[in-house]
Amino acid sequence: MLAPVLLWWVTAFDGWLLLDGHDRAVAALEEGGTPSCVVLVRVPDEEDWRRESAELMEGHEGAGRGELDLSPHRDARLADILAALPYEEARTRSWPLPGGAPAWERMALRAVFQFPGD
């Protein structure tokens, strides 16, 4: 099985931006199939969600043996956390880069130096 295609919904384009897996997507479509996809989305209140899920997972570890505590109240709390995740595309936000185009050029030059084959 191939890795999924990575997509991101961009509201300015009113469509999907294919971030990774271009060749896999083309191959699947040429064969009459649909590529498996993973969608990159913003999570609202990300710090709260990360803190709650980390606390929950700490509570799942049992007696240092890596066993999971699957008691019903923990399952319900995990379900609540997962249900709070967005299932619709959120508005894509962006901010201007401080320093404008010259700052972008400097960043791009550093990236090309790190990865000269790209």
Contact call for residues 22 and 7 (beta carbons, < 8 A): no
> What is the rounded distance in angstroms from the CA atom of residue 26 to the CA atom of residue 42?
26
Q: What is the pLDDT of residues 44-78, one digit of tens each?
A: 656 676 777 777 777 655 544 555 555 666 667 77
> Environment class of residue 38 by beta-carbon count within 10 Å: exposed (0-12), middle (13-18) or buried (19+)?
middle
Residues near 78 by beta carbon (within 8 Å), at least 6 away in sequence: 56
Q: Which of 108, 86, 90 is nearest to 99 (CA)?
A: 108
Please name the residue that has the structure tokens 């008691």.
Answer: 71
What pLDDT is recorded for position 63?
44
| Mean pLDDT over each residue of the chain, to the nearest integer | 76
Both tokens assigned to 50: 């990360």
> What is the rounded distance in angstroms from the CA atom of residue 43 to the CA atom of residue 86?
7
Q: What is the mean pLDDT of residues 28-41?
A: 89
Q: What is the mean pLDDT of residues 88-97?
A: 73
pTM of the predicted structure, to 2 decimals: 0.47
Q: What is the mean pLDDT of residues 99-113?
A: 85
